[in-house]
Amino acid sequence: MSASLSEQALVHRSARGANNERLEFLGDAVVGLVVAELLYDRFPKVDEGVLTRMRAHLVCERGLAEVARTLKLGERLQLGPGELKSGGYRRDSILADALEALAAARYFESGWDACRAEVRSWFEHALGSLHTDDFGKDAKTRLQEWMQARALGLPEYELVDATGPEHAREFLVHCRAAAHSRQTEARGNSRKLAEARAAEAMITQLQADERKANPA
């Protein structure tokens, strides 16, 4: 007899047999919609930019892995010998993928309404500690606060290029975080927009660096 989809959702590609990779593709979208609707309901006055950042925070790899740990998915994962030895059941990426795959399995097994209710319950705790204020600030302010909290100095912005005709001008901006020797660049049809995008890219970059330096 073939295993249930909920079991297959916990089979990492390093193990034998049918793994969870295709389910994870679908589950990413299941979780994405459930969390989007949850935020849409919970924050009726909040604009879509803030909702988008809140969602990214909840469904980032680390956020998903935390939910997976609460559900003790690590204990039920099926891994190949190599991943088993190197502690794959503790790894954020493997746990996050398994959680997403499980969401897809539930969708097929129980239908949308039951799946939606279950996936909502997974994020109730994380939602409780979410403050719209943290996500409402513009990217340059968030980057500055993030760097100052870590004594990394201030970011620098440089307008590198402006091209195109007057009515369709495109600005290219560099953002530098000297203490991290990181640089990002972004384009936009205003200097302000290009700077905001470069700041957003820098936040993503620095947060990834921090995660790499302090693995869970």
Residues that bind a copy of itself (CB under 8 A): 21-22, 24-26, 28-30, 32-33, 36-37, 40, 47-48, 51-52, 112-113
Q: What is the DSSP string of 30-51?
A: HHHHHHHHHHHHH-TT--HHHH
Catalytic residue (one of 28, 92, 97, 200)? 28
Amino acid of residue 31? V
Closer to a copy of itself by CB, 113 or 133: give it: 113
- Residue 98: closest CA among 75, 118, 114, 81: 75
Annotation marks residue 133 as catalytic? no
Closer to a copy of itself by CB, 69 or 187: give it: 187
- Residue 91: closest CA among 159, 13, 146, 27: 13
Could you tell me the smallest distance in angstroms from the CB atom of residue 109 to a copy of itself? 14
Annotation marks residue 100 as catalytic? yes
Closer to a copy of itself by CB, 151 or 214: give it: 214
- Residue 96: closest CA among 199, 24, 144, 191: 24
Could you tell me the smallest distance in angstroms from the CB atom of residue 96 to a copy of itself? 14
Closer to a copy of itself by CB, 144 or 179: give it: 179
- Residue 38: closest CA among 110, 108, 122, 131: 122
Tokens, residue 102: 């499980």
Could you tell me the smallest distance in angstroms from the CB atom of residue 164 to a copy of itself? 9
**Active site residues per annotation:** 28, 100
